[in-house]
């Protein structure tokens, strides 16, 4: 008799065309899915994220059973639960008398290594739900002095044919980013996101999460995430018709009390497998060709998915497990309490952290130019910043989060991802948001107690990183301008910045 094999399906692999499922035999093999504390606690995840993943797992397991698969499913509160993915595989191997495991390669090095250490035969198959493979990215990267996303993106456009005509980009340009930087509009009647009332499965999960993870940062209720593929497709439909037409113009805008604007809010569903990147991009392209959405919006949206999303995954696997420990600028300040909801006089940070607490969501500019910009200017430990982003956002899985944080946001990889540090003074925030209105600090003030901290910390960052950054072609003009300032004015700015940082480190409300 042929022995059964175990088919591992992780919480971010909820796709029916998963390579491990395609390799398996329905009448022979058993699908193993497990809710385990190791995965729920390796960082203190937002309760909404835990609930999303567990509810989606349960519904996916039910769909597999309905399709005729044998599914060995372990709930978080099952008495026999061993608490880890590897422990559950060993337990199920004994139960089914299996000595081989089929798995789609996980998206995190720690799980890849854990599977490799199992005392069982483990066959890790490529995760081909992406447009490109890590090997394809490595081949592209080989011999290049700079691994810029734009050049990789063009290669992927050619490969997929998205927004292409006779080998050339539609409209004659690859990139319409310059048209996608409009500040916050006066008319903020943006569409409300499509949400779903919790059904019986989701309600059970919410009760479990409320009991087990009540101390985690973040509000569990209200909960309206899509938790199965049908719902996720409905969210995509809603965005294509209601959000995409204005997405391009205002994708960088920030408005207090308006967390959603015209964003898609589908990244959690892409990242757990309920949506496929190509189907999402094809829908957007169809909207453009039907005249329902402008080219700048559609190109910008597609670039985020087949450009940036594929690129950061390539970086993660290219650079290896030590990538998250990099700290090129030698920043070591601990995260202040304001990142966990502590008080702050900075309206912009209060808005974004509050939104993150309530929704497990913030859009890319809020992450990059508010929380990320502040962390970089303040010299916060990039490892701690990485752990925070991984903890608080519903779409955060290490393969996508680490390059965004360690590379793009914190410049901790020394410029592998970003050609220069993404830092700005308060002027950028004032231009792209309404956060500065009514703030305790004055965005126009350069010195003094009421000076915007971003203004003070910007020049503090520039000065303390002079040796590392002054020869960067994109930074040299900034140093020349700084050096032309009156010496007394420079000293006053640096003194005020140092005093502000000292107050933050002492735990004062800043």
Q: Which residues contact 22 (CB under 8 A, 6 or more apart)?
A: none
| DSSP strand pairing (168-169 vs 164-165) | antiparallel
Residues 6 or more apart from 186 whose CB is under 8 A from it? Answer: none
Record the tokens describing residue 487, joined without a space.
């010496």
* For residues 278-307, average pLDDT: 98
What percentage of residues in the chain have a pLDDT greater than 70? 100
CA 211 to each of CA 73, 78, 214, 354: distance values in angstroms, whole numbers, following the listed order? 21, 14, 6, 23
Query: Tens digits of per-residue pLDDT, 35-78?
Result: 999 999 999 999 999 999 999 999 999 999 999 999 999 999 99
Note whether 73 and 61 are within 8 A (CB). yes
Closest-CA residue to 170 (of 32, 50, 293, 3): 293
Two structure tokens written together for 103: 């798995």
Q: What CATH topology corresponds to 134-318?
A: 1.25.40
Q: Parse the chain into domains and list their residue ranges.
A: 6-125, 134-318, 337-505
pLDDT on residue 184:
78
pLDDT exceeds 90 at position 509: yes
Global pTM?
A: 0.97
Of 3, 272, 7, whose CA–CA distance to 115 is shortest? 7
pLDDT at residue 186, rounded to an integer:
77
Is the domain defined by 337-505 classed in CATH 3.30.230.10?
A: no
Q: Token pair of 143, please?
A: 């011999």
In this predicted structure, the answer to whether residue 188 has a pLDDT above a threshold of 90 is no
Q: For residues 382 and 326, is the Cβ–Cβ distance under 8 A? A: yes
Instruction: Dump pLDDT digits (tens) for 465-504.
Output: 999 999 999 999 999 999 999 999 999 999 999 999 999 9
Structure tokens at 399: 């393969």
State the CATH architecture for 6-125. Answer: 3-Layer(aba) Sandwich (3.40)
Q: Does residue 219 register a pLDDT over 90?
A: yes
Assigned token pair, 176? 């319409």
DSSP state string for 208-219: HHHHHSTTSSS-
Say if CB 247 and CB 284 are below 8 A apart. no
In the prediction, which pLDDT does 475 show?
A: 94
* Cα–Cα distance measured from residue 180 to residue 165, given in angstroms and rounded to the nearest whole number: 23
Helix (H) or strand (E) holding 162: none
Q: Picking from 111-120, 174-183, 240-249, 301-310, which range would have the lowest pLDDT averaged per residue? A: 174-183
Tell me, what's the pLDDT at 185? 80
Topology match between the domains 6-125 and 134-318: no
């Amino acid at each position: 008799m042929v022995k059964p094999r175990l088919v591992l399906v992780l919480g971010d692999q909820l796709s029916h065309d998963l390579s491990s499922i395609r390799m398996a035999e329905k009448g022979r093999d058993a699908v193993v899915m497990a809710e385990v504390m190791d995965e729920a606690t390796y960082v203190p995840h937002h309760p909404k994220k835990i609930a999303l993943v567990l509810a989606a797992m349960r519904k996916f397991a039910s769909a597999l059973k309905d399709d005729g698969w044998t599914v060995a499913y372990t709930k978080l509160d099952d008495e026999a639960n061993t608490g880890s993915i590897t422990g559950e595989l060993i337990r199920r191997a004994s139960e089914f008398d299996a000595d081989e495991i089929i798995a789609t390669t996980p998206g995190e090095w720690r799980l890849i290594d854990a599977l490799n250490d199992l005392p069982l035969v483990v066959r890790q198959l490529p995760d081909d739900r992406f447009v490109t493979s890590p090997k394809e990215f490595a081949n592209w990267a080989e011999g290049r002095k700079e691994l810029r996303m734009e050049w990789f993106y063009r290669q992927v456009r050619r490969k997929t044919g998205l927004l292409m005509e006779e080998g050339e980009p539609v409209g004659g340009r690859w990139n319409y980013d310059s048209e996608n930087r409009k500040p916050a509009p006066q008319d903020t009647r943006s569409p409300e996101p499509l949400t779903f009332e919790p059904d019986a499965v989701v309600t059970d999960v919410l009760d479990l999460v409320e009991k087990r993870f009540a101390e985690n940062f973040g509000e569990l209720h209200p909960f309206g995430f899509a938790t199965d593929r049908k719902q996720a497709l409905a969210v995509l439909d809603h965005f294509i018709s209601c959000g995409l037409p204005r997405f391009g113009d205002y994708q960088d805008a920030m408005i207090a009390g308006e967390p959603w604007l015209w964003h898609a809010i589908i990244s959690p569903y892409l990242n757990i497998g309920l949506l496929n990147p190509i189907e999402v991009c094809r829908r957007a392209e169809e909207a453009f060709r039907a005249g329902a959405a402008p080219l700048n919006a559609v190109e910008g949206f597609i670039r985020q998915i087949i450009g940036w999303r594929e690129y950061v995954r390539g970086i993660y696997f290219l650079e290896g497990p030590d990538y998250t420990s990099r700290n090129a600028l030698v920043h070591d300040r601990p995260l202040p309490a304001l990142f966990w909801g502590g008080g702050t006089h900075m309206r912009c940070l209060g808005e974004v952290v509050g939104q993150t607490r309530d929704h497990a969501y913030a859009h890319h500019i809020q992450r990059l130019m508010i929380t990320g910009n502040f962390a970089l200017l303040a010299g916060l430990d990039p490892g701690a910043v990485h752990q925070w982003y991984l903890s608080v956002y519903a779409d955060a899985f290490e393969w996508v989060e680490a390059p965004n944080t360690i590379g793009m946001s914190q410049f901790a990889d020394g410029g592998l991802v970003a050609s220069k540090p993404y830092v700005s003074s308060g002027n950028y925030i004032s231009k792209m948001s309404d956060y500065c209105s009514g703030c305790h600090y004055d965005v126009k003030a350069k010195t003094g107690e009421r000076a915007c901290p971003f203004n003070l910390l910007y020049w503090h960052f520039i000065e303390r990183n002079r040796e590392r950054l002054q020869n960067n072609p994109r930074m040299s003009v900034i140093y020349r301008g700084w050096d032309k300032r009156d010496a007394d004015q420079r000293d006053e700015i640096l003194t005020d910045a140092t005093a502000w940082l000292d107050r933050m480190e002492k735990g004062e409300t800043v």
